[in-house]
Chains A and B, each alone.
Chain A
Amino acid sequence: MIDVRKLSFVYSPKTPFTTQALFDIDLKIETGDFFGIIGSTGAGKSTLVSHFNALTRIQKNSGTILIDDIDLSAKKLDLKKLRAKVGMVFQYPEHQLFDDTVEKDVMFGPKNLGLSVDEQRERAKQAIGLVGLNYNDMAERSPFELSGGQKRRVAIAGVLAMRPEILVLDEPTAGLDPIGKREIMELILNAKNMCPTVVMISHNMDEIAAYCNKIAVLGNGRITGVFEPKELFGSEALLARCGVELPLVTELAVKLSRAGLDIDRSILDEDELVRAILDLRSENNA
């Protein structure tokens, strides 16, 4: 569980370049959530999540964050423990690959946790499998000769190998083609079996609508609201207020229903839409 209370954050305080990125954020993420964070560019999403494993430390008198029983505003923090607990996948994680083989790169996290070599290898093997790569093919290859999508999987495996309880992803599908995007999302869903809580930042409303069970909208460093997908994408007034666009699937459903077809306007998932259309056709044929 992540419990954010009255969190504020200022970049470069006391200089001419100072910007306040977060204002009094209150947020509760329960264990088992697939939690989506959306908001326009510069809203403060990345700043907020980088607090979750203390890469950004909470400033003085700027609120607090509780992760289960760990208080992140405490002076003395067991960073190792925290970072094993909260796995963080940054935007373009493939840029952090450095070692000469995929296996060694994935083992970097477990190694830093001070595990034995066997345990490190065991975890790397599992993580590489978890992201849908073939361990025997991949282990000895250089991460730099892989395709963009494969690199990203390796990078995600590097985080999963630490076996986090909370997985935080910052725009995990940015810059991939539609199939690559779907594969990454499937992989995250797969990883969720092992790591129960997932927090994901995304600009892609289709992903958010299809996978998240709760969505926080951020605007100019403030929480505009926390909603269920049906609630947010089902209400035009709410969408307008939050400055959020409809997922393409839902937009299509709305257009079809405007055109006179009997289709639910709050469909959030491609499969669901396809099923609805097929049902409609078989009804008509009958």
Chain B
Amino acid sequence: MRDITIGQYYPARSIVHRADPRFKLVILLLYLITVFFCSSFFSFGFMTFFVLITVFLSRVPFLKVLKGLKMIIVILIITSLLTMVFYTDADATPLGEWWIFKIYLSGIYASIKLGWRLLLLVLMPTVLTLTSTPTELCDGLESLLSPLKKIKIPVHELALIMSIALRLIPTLIEETDKIMNAQKARGAAFESRNPFKKIKAMLPVLVPLFVSAFRRADDLADAMDSRCYRGAKGRTRMKVMKFHAGDVFALLFWCLITVCILFLNYNWLGWYFITVLGL
């Protein structure tokens, strides 16, 4: 049960861990947009290079990052394969033919690019969740969205709800663990294959779990009341988020990468651009 912790934070001391979560979020957004502009193999390689550098700087073992991709690897392979077999190119002659499928060289290229793009799209968010705690991300998001308060969107309250939810998930998992153990000790079997039986077997866990969740919610509300919590108005932070020169530098650097990709993509200066880069 314990393995499904939300957020897969990997504690380490690195500049990526220390970076301001707001900047990390903005960079992630910029990065995701940029990935959609990549079109040539060169630009994919270019992006991948910088992603790998980020992983290296974060000091998270590379295997750990790959583990985060476990979930999507199947989707990735299937979509790539489908793209490859169903790709049609009227101008080209197929490399091979089998039943209704025709394989084109451009189809192979397209499928590789699609897979690569998906991989890039998932890699960076994985790095983000590995290097920042859910709370940090929540605070960062609240701070970034705070201009929306002007149009009466309760950003603070939403962020609070989110951070309470995130905070309680591990607690509830622990609670589930405990209750399951208690019922197992009374001989309950949760291993049945029949889904109806399974749901019925879960009842002795779900009821106490809900009871305890409500009890916790009540306690929390009381605790907040007794500390005079009144919402966002006039509230200051204990941990004030501060950004450093490094954060700004990283953001500028990623802007530069975006610009490079745009140049590569739209070929604004012709292929001279590559020679400008010195490649």
Q: Give residues in A with beta carbon < 8 Å to B.
A: 12, 16, 50, 53, 55, 80, 83-84, 87-88, 90, 93, 95-99, 108-109, 112-113, 144, 158-159, 162
Contact = CB atoms under 8 A, between A and B. Distances in A.
A263 to B, nearest CB: 43
A53 B185 CA distance: 7
Contacts of B188: 108, 112
Interface stretch (B174-182, B220-228, B237-245): B174-182
B66 to A, nearest CB: 16
**Secondary structure call for the B interface:** helix
A162 B2 contact: no
Given A90-B178, A95-B208, A96-B208, A159 B185 contact: yes
A16 B10 contact: yes
A80 B187 contact: yes
Contacts of A98: 183, 203-205, 207-208
Contacts, number: 61
B175 to A, nearest CB: 8
Contact of A96 (B2, B10, B183): B183
Nearest to B183: A96
B211 interface: yes
B184 interface: yes
29 contacts: A16-B12, A50-B181, A55-B181, A55-B185, A83-B184, A83-B186, A84-B187, A88-B182, A90-B182, A93-B182, A95-B178, A95-B182, A95-B211, A96-B183, A96-B204, A97-B208, A98-B203, A98-B204, A98-B205, A98-B207, A98-B208, A109-B186, A109-B187, A112-B186, A112-B187, A112-B188, A112-B189, A144-B211, A159-B186
B212 interface: yes
B178 A55 contact: no
A55 to B, nearest CB: 5
Contacts of B204: 96, 98-99, 108
B208 A158 contact: no
Contacts of B11: 16
Interface string B192-220: 00000000000111011001100000000
Contacts of A96: 179, 182-183, 186, 204, 208
Contacts of A144: 211
A112 B184 CA distance: 10
Contact of B187 (A90, A93, A95, A113): A113
Contacts of A109: 186-187
A90 B186 contact: no
Given A16-B10, A98-B203, A98-B204, A87 B212 contact: no
Contact of A95 (B2, B10, B203, B212): B212
A132 to B, nearest CB: 20
B208 A83 contact: no
A50 B11 CA distance: 29
A99 B11 CA distance: 42
A99 to B, nearest CB: 8
Contacts of A88: 182, 185
A242 B230 CA distance: 48
Given A16-B11, A55-B181, A90-B181, A83 B2 contact: no
Contacts of A93: 182
Contact of B2 (A12, A80, A113): A12
Nearest to B187: A112
A87 B182 CA distance: 10
A80 to B, nearest CB: 6
